[in-house]
Structure 1
Amino acid sequence: MTEARSERVITALDAEDWASASTLLERLPMENHRVKVGKQLFTRSGPCVVEELHARGSEVFLDLKFHDIPNTVAGAVQAAAELGVWMVNVHASGGPRMMEAARRAVEGGGSRPWLIAVTVLTSMDARELHSVGVAAEPEEQVLRLARLARESGMDGVVASPAEVPLLRRELGPDFLLVTPGVRPAGSGTDDQRRSATPGQAVADGSDYLVIGRPLTRAEDPRSAWEAIIREMSMADDSA
């Protein structure tokens, strides 16, 4: 991965409204270039959030995890592409026809967003997978869905830090791995069941780290962000 370390951190703007998100952005460094907009913020404030972020020079990962019939997901992904987002995601468990429809929806239009697929939510463990009828262990299910996503034309997947080494080994260097559930050393895991530190995730082969509460709930978000970049740097230097 040749991008600057600051470009590999995606700050999760898990704020309740645009005013709160804007206040947080003011407390982060200018180098905080990439941000994630999720369901709460987008549902409350709408596409204008993406427009405001673009006006600030940010690149947006629209994290709405589309999962529906192929035609509906294709339309949603196309709408996201028309907003000019940098990255958008779908659920791999929607199946190959859904993912293929999503890919076709963004092809042929010049510049297009990275299209990635969610494998298994980082809040889920084996017990929860089994409770919804998935007999496989989390790592096995993640690999199955990641292979399906690659075959269906996705640019990469969202997976927890626990699966990054396996996915990098099995799927090669050119398949994007986007990693939530990243927690700096000494911080709590919150509701993340399969987490790792930024340094460990980078060392294992993650391309992009999605980091939310360790930044958004930090007393000093700027210092927290800079500490994460330093930790990533140390991991790169020791590799």
Structure 2
Amino acid sequence: MVQPLIIALDFPKAEIALDFVKQFPTSEQLFVKVGMELYYQAGPTIIRELQALGCQIFLDLKLHDIPHTVEQAATVIGQLGVDLTTIHAAGGQKMMQAAVSGIATGAKKANVRQAKVLAITQLTSTSEQMLHQELNINTSLTDSVDHLAQLAAASHVDGVISSALEVPHIKAATSANFLCISPGIRLTSQSTDDQVRIVTPAGAHQLGSDGIVVGRPITQAPDPVASYQQIKALWEAK
């Protein structure tokens, strides 16, 4: 997979998301993320409409339930022909294996590409303090992320969603080919919003991220296309 810059389409309505995408030249071949807000509002229709515009799709629904339920949901997702989708590593090995199986079953049934499955380790809004005091996890954030990444790799998941700060540890704990897609990307001059473990585009590249997810710095910019091009140049700089 080419190292993508994925735009998070965190919009409340399909029409807004589609109008946003149409600002970009068709030659750009955007990779976009459809999260819970947009998918729950628009459903599978938004996936088909974005694909018709030439977009690659990261469907970010973060499945987390008992293995049977996750497998059935993943089978439905697998039929959509999206490129990436997510589950929570905290659901455990059986649940992650069920998700991988469901995605494969759905893709085969619909005769479409099989989505790569990425596991959520710890959200980039989670701090060390929150991990200990609220989640009652008595290990370091780095150790928790490494453990969940190793569990995901053992479950035949394709990679993880993690802060770029953790990528070197994850690659060392799994393999160089284990995908690490990083949200929490900000320019140094921008607000961190509700993100905690943030990194610049260039920093994520240097740390070895295989792709980055950027939302508000692009979608809420005065000139989204120019902001996208700026971040893309920083991300792809050698």
2:19 alignment counterpart: 23
Amino acid at match of 2:11: A
Amino acid at match of 1:166: H
> 19, 25, 33: which is aligned to 1:36?
33
- Segments of 5+ residues of structure 2 without an aligned counterpart are none
Encode CA deviations 1:34-92: one digit per residue, 9 max, x unaligned.
Answer: 10000110111111010101111111111000000001111111111101111111000
Measure the CA separation in 1 of the matches of 2:215 and 2:158. 23
Encode CA deviations 1:152-189: one digit per residue, 9 max, x unaligned.
Answer: 11000000122112112332211000100011231111
Aligned length: 231
Amino acid at match of 1:11: I
Encode CA deviations 1:178-201: one digit per residue, 9 max, x unaligned.
Answer: 100011231111111001001110
Measure the CA separation in 1 of the matches of 2:213 and 2:24. 15
Q: Cα offset for 1:32?
A: 4.7
Find the residue that maps to 2:48 and give its secondary structure. Answer: helix
Find the residue that maps to 1:60 and give its secondary structure. Answer: strand
**Conserved in 2, the CA contact under 8 Å of 1:11 and 1:32?**
no
> 210, 215, 218: which is aligned to 1:215?
218
2:73 alignment counterpart: 76
Q: Cα offset for 1:28?
A: 3.3
2:91 alignment counterpart: 94
**Conserved in 1, the CA contact under 8 Å of 2:119 and 2:157?**
yes
Amino acid at match of 1:20: I
1:127 alignment counterpart: 129
User: After the TM superposition, which segments of 4 or more aligned residues of structure 1 sit over 4 Å from their partners?
Assistant: none
**Conserved in 2, the CA contact under 8 Å of 1:88 and 1:116?**
yes
Measure the CA separation in 2 of the matches of 1:230 and 1:83. 31
Measure the CA separation in 2 of the matches of 1:159 and 1:74. 23
Give % identity.
38
Measure the CA separation in 1 of the matches of 2:4 and 2:19. 22
- Segments of 5+ residues of structure 1 without an aligned counterpart are none
Measure the CA separation in 1 of the matches of 2:170 and 2:102. 26
> 46, 60, 63: which is aligned to 1:63?
60
Measure the CA separation in 1 of the matches of 2:221 and 2:194. 17
Q: Normalising by the residue count of structure 1, what TM-score does the alignment of the two structures yield?
A: 0.92
Find the residue that maps to 1:62 and give its secondary structure. Answer: strand
**Aligned counterparts, 1:1-239, within 5 A:** 3=2, 8-30=4-26, 31-107=28-104, 109=108, 111-130=113-132, 131-234=134-237, 237=238
> Structure 1's 29 and 127: CA in aligned 2 closer, same or farther, altered over 3 A?
farther
Find the residue that maps to 2:75 and give its secondary structure. Answer: helix
Q: Cα offset for 1:29?
A: 4.2
**Conserved in 1, the CA contact under 8 Å of 2:164 and 2:208?**
no
Find the residue that maps to 2:222 and give its secondary structure. Answer: coil
> Structure 1's 29 and 212: CA in aligned 2 closer, same or farther, altered over 3 A?
farther
Amino acid at match of 1:144: H
**Conserved in 2, the CA contact under 8 Å of 1:158 and 1:180?**
yes
Measure the CA separation in 2 of the matches of 1:169 and 1:137. 17
Encode CA deviations 1:116-144: one digit per residue, 9 max, x unaligned.
Answer: 10000000101111112211121111101
> Structure 1's 29 and 138: CA in aligned 2 closer, same or farther, altered over 3 A?
farther
Name which of structure 1's ranges 21-30 and 41-50 shifts more when overlaid on structure 2: 21-30
